[in-house]
Structure 1
Amino acid sequence: MTESDRDENPTTPSGPPPAMLIDARALRGLAHPLRGRLLDELTLNGPATATILGKRLGESSGSTSYHLRQLSRFGFIEAAPGRSGGRERWWRPRPGGWSMRGHEFLGDPETRPVVETVLGRYYQQREARFRGWTARVWDPVQSAEVRRWKDAASDMVSRARMTPEESREFGRALTEFVGVYMARYQGRTPESHPDTENVELQTTLFPNLPAAGTGTPSGGAPPRDPAEGATGDD
């Protein structure tokens, strides 16, 4: 699992900086619910100060300031360059984002509870954002904002038969492409680009393994012909 927020001006000559691989200590540092909310807010709406974030989230600036420092301590955020907030520091997500060995942490009894907390929150919020968008699209009374965006949004499922090695290669290539392309738009904020909205790309890559004791994939579809090629559904 990777959360990435790449810099508008990559620091590496070959492209965006690599994601930070976090350890168990940093993972525990992210488990606090307010820290997760602060990181989400910075990712969605760009650089901000503790005071700005406190007002948005209904928290005191003292509380947000403390938890922002903890996020910085573990490497998830950093001071935003080129911004002066007087006595307050402007923060932004770490360029390149972060990643973790989720399967490894889940297999360790000591780290399993905290990774379940972090991943559970991540997937719940991810699903909630998508459901929120689809609910607005399906509403018979659509706002002008929804009408403006509905034809720009997309939802696609693609399938192909691969080996684990081919799947890893495909995943790396896809991640690199998305990172390079998204770097064009990073660094924007609602204030600097008022005509934009935060656009979210959700990707998952996983095998449809047969359910235990059957030859049918767990999703319920019958096994496909091995010779069948990739398909895409809009």
Structure 2
Amino acid sequence: MSETPEDPNEAGRRPLEVEGEALRGLAHPLRARILDELHMRGPATATLLGERLGESSGSTSYHLRQLFRYGFIENDPERSGGRERWWRFRPAGWRMRGGELLRGPSTREATEGILARYYGGRRERLDRWNRLVDERPDDPGVRRWRRAAEGSVAHVRMTPEETEEFGRDLQDFIRERLRPFQGRTAEDRPGAEPVELQTDLFPNLTGTDADPEDGPSAR
């Protein structure tokens, strides 16, 4: 899993590899909410995040420092020198190899919680949009976005090696297409809203010879 494709303009930067130690940076639910806010709505201060999330600025300030400690966020260089520090999501993003961390006794519990929140949040945001379309189809905001939003599923046959190569090519394409929109704020482009792109690339082993649930151990 990963958050934010690497920005090609960030020379020498790579996504943060979340491993054993860095897992602590994501261990608290409020930190995940703070990351979502910084990711979707751009740089913010502890006070601003506290107002948005219904938390005290002291609480958000503490968790911001923890996120900074583990490398998930950084100071916003365009808003330095003020009374309060502005924070931004790490431009190159982060990624974690969930399958490997789930197999480690020392990282399994933390990884399970992080993955549950991550995928649960993705599902919740998509469900929220679909409910709006269903329940408030005549709302001007919903009407404005209804035709732009889309979802699709593609089924093909690939080897693991081909799938890995396809995934790399797909991420390269996404990075290139997202480049003009990176770093935008609400003030930069009136009328623009946070847009979320979700991608999943995985083998559908159900009913195949490789299905673990259809092998001898499952009977």
TM-score by length of 1: 0.85
Percent identity reads: 55
Alignment of 1:76-225 (within 5 A): 76-84=72-80, 86-139=82-135, 141-211=137-207
Alignment of 1:5-84 (within 5 A): 10-12=9-11, 17-84=13-80
Shift of the 146–105 alpha-carbon distance from structure 1 to 2, 3 Å rule, reads same
Shift of the 141–210 alpha-carbon distance from structure 1 to 2, 3 Å rule, reads closer
Shift of the 75–216 alpha-carbon distance from structure 1 to 2, 3 Å rule, reads closer
Mapped partners of 2:102, 2:20: distance in 1: 11
* SS across alignment from 2:38: helix
The answer to whether the Cα contact below 8 Å between 1:5 and 1:43 also exists between their aligned partners in 2 is: no
Mapped partners of 1:40, 1:140: distance in 2: 25
Report how far residue 134 of structure 1 moved.
0.8
Mapped partners of 1:217, 1:136: distance in 2: 37
The answer to whether the Cα contact below 8 Å between 1:5 and 1:93 also exists between their aligned partners in 2 is: no
Name structure 1 gaps, 5 residues minimum.
219-234
Structure with the larger helix share = 2
Name structure 2 gaps, 5 residues minimum.
213-219
* SS across alignment from 1:18: coil
Shift of the 111–217 alpha-carbon distance from structure 1 to 2, 3 Å rule, reads closer
Mapped partners of 1:97, 1:149: distance in 2: 27
The one-letter code sitting in structure 2 at the alignment partner of 1:154 is E
Report how far residue 101 of structure 1 moved.
1.5
The answer to whether the Cα contact below 8 Å between 1:6 and 1:96 also exists between their aligned partners in 2 is: yes
RMSD of aligned residue pairs (Cα, Å): 2.0
The answer to whether the Cα contact below 8 Å between 2:137 and 2:143 also exists between their aligned partners in 1 is: no
Farther off after superposition, 111-120 or 81-90: 81-90
Q: Write the deviation string for residues 105-163 of structure 1: whole angstroms up to 9, x where unpaired.
A: 00012111100100000111100100111111122642011111111111111111000
Report how far residue 28 of structure 1 moved.
2.0
Runs of 4+ in 1 over 6 A off after TM superposition: none
Mapped partners of 2:180, 2:19: distance in 1: 29
TM-score by length of 2: 0.90
* SS across alignment from 1:152: coil
